[in-house]
Amino acid sequence: MRSAYIAQSTHCQPFAEDTMPNDTTRRYHHGNLRQAVIDTALQLADESGDERISLREVARRIGVSSGAPFRHFADHAALMTAIAEEATVRLRLMVDRDQHQSPPAAIERLRTLGHSFLAWALQHPTSFRLVSARRLYDFNASPALKSHFQAVRERTVTLVMQAQSEGDLQHDVAPERLALMLRSAVYGMARMHVDGQLAQWGVGPRAARRELQATLDALIDGFRRNRPR
């Protein structure tokens, strides 16, 4: 499911003036240049490790003129906003998939939610940096991004409340505060990874996912009513 900013077309149109000669149009599904720009920009960001994306390089890879992307985006900020939206769509798909596979207990689904975010940040560090860097895009102009972050908050708070009602989490901490604490911890650990700070704490690249997830587990277990021994 694409966000509102990401338009798709399933109909072939006559060759438009914003494309290069015919041989280059085979590099993307014609009529869906907007999505091709977004997908290629994300791929380029993952390859380069740089969230500052060159539209010229994106256009070159797709095989269109350097000005073609701007027929679909008013400015660079609009493109970056659409890219951030696409990144959060992919994150949400990962989260939803993992939630369906999670044990039913709320505390386990809460744990899985944190694991999913960490896995996404480790697998797609540039997407994480891009979504986190709101200076690069217009957050306030994107209902899709606002909805995504609101949904993250609501899901986290709901799972905390359910885990408390199921007797697995302590009741002496307000669910909103505990949810914020867990979210901050997950975000902070992801940030340490993408910024290359984990090595200073004795965590190498190969062990990053295991160690970060174990750290999150320890934090959650610290708030359990009956702590595992």
Rg of the chain taking only CA atoms, in angstroms: 20
Per-residue pLDDT at 67: 87
Whether the predicted model's global pTM rises above the 0.85 cut: no
Which helix H or strand E contains 50, and what residues bound it?
A: none
Per-residue pLDDT at 214: 96
Per-residue pLDDT at 229: 54
Per-residue pLDDT at 23: 37
- Low-confidence residues in the chain, pLDDT < 50: 1-26
196 three-state secondary structure = coil
CA atoms of 105 and 124, how far apart (whole Å): 28
200 token code pair:
């200073």
Per-residue pLDDT at 30: 54
Per-residue pLDDT at 29: 52
Question: Domains of the chain by range and CATH?
Answer: 83-221 (1.10.357.10)
168 token code pair:
């697995």
